[in-house]
Amino acid sequence: MFRKVVFRLLAVFVMASAAAGSWAAETHEPVNHRFCFTCHGTDGIGSEGIQGPRLAGMESWYLKRQLELFRAGGRGKHPSDIQGMEMQPMAAILSDENIADILEWAATWEYVPATPTLSGGDATRGRQLYLACASCHGDAAQGSEAMNAPALAGQNDWYLVTQLKNFKAGYRGADPLDQYGAMMRTMTSGLADDKAIVDVVSFINTLGR
Ligand code: HEC
Ligand code: HEC
């Protein structure tokens, strides 16, 4: 099972790197940015198999910040951050111009909220837990640029769960370059265990966007 996963990831990585290489050589051709879809799903709707989250509909300011953060190595460098380490080299090859092109291109993708996959969570308890999140992410988890907090509603639930676990464990948000992640990291102290994480994400799943 583990071998199969590793092989699949390797195949994707080689494919993605090859596509990225030819794209980096040519630049500017939006069609060559398509290597993002290898891991983020058709039209950026997310890919659970590769654990690449939905990008379509993501706020442009947040998308930009994460690409720059991955590129600088402030995210996706912790050896236990398996998924982040897949993304980091993808961002490392991007120039400022590439990022500007991607933002323009991503703005044209149709936003389709992710389909909930989580089961067994207690959304009622999650609603209580979410009270501590609303001041930054908004009552409907719609996000707030003023608070630097992205929308959570409509994002893939498996991705939200992984991020909360990663923040809590310090796989994300512990790097000195990641000031916003550090802010978020302190917030996970209110989520006592994995059950609380599943509960709060189950509540977020009830919020449409
Ligand atoms: C080899 C697979 C792969 C490729 C190719 C790839 N990504 Fe990713 N990306 C991932 C994974 C996996 C994650 C989740 C990282 C995590 O769990 O922290 C991710 C995370 C992200 C995030 C963070 C989202 C968030 O909500 O914080 C952004 C933004 C992103 N990718 C953009 C892109 C863009 C733009 C491209 C194309 C230039 C791209 N990715 C190409 C695998 C990939
Ligand atoms: C003090 C403000 C603040 C509070 C309160 C807060 N967050 Fe955040 N959160 C942030 C910021 C800022 C980010 C973006 C971090 C970054 O840019 O890397 C974030 C990011 C996240 C992410 C990652 C999203 C992604 O696309 O990768 C998740 C998941 C998240 N928060 C969930 C929660 C939950 C659940 C709570 C309540 C338990 C909460 N947050 C409370 C500020 C906050």
* pLDDT by residue, tens only, the chain of 209 residues: 344 444 444 444 445 544 554 444 444 444 466 789 999 998 999 999 999 999 999 999 999 999 999 999 999 999 999 999 999 999 999 999 999 999 999 999 999 999 999 999 999 999 999 999 999 999 999 999 999 999 999 999 999 999 999 999 999 999 999 999 999 999 999 999 999 999 999 999 999 87
With tokens 């897949």, the residue in question is 86
The letter for the amino acid at 120 is G
Contact 99, 36 (CB under 8 A): no
Per-residue confidence (pLDDT) for residue 32, from 0 to 100: 62
Answer yes or no: is the C-beta of 67 below 6 A from any ligand 1 atom: yes
- Ligand closest to Cα of 101 equals 1
Ligand 2, atom 13: closest residue by C-alpha: 149
Angle among Cα 136, 189, 56 to the nearest 5 degrees reads 45
Question: How many angstroms separate the alpha carbon of residue 117 from the centre of ligand 2?
Answer: 20
Ligand 2, atom 5: closest residue by C-alpha: 133
Residue 155 CA: nearest ligand 1 atom is 26
- State the greatest distance between any 2 C-alpha atoms of the chain, in Å, as a whole number: 52
Contact 76, 84 (CB under 8 A): yes
The tokens for 38 are 């290898």
End-to-end alpha-carbon separation of the chain, Å?
36
Alpha-carbon distance of 56 to 105, in angstroms, equals 10
Residue 12 CA: nearest ligand 1 atom is 1
The letter for the amino acid at 133 is C
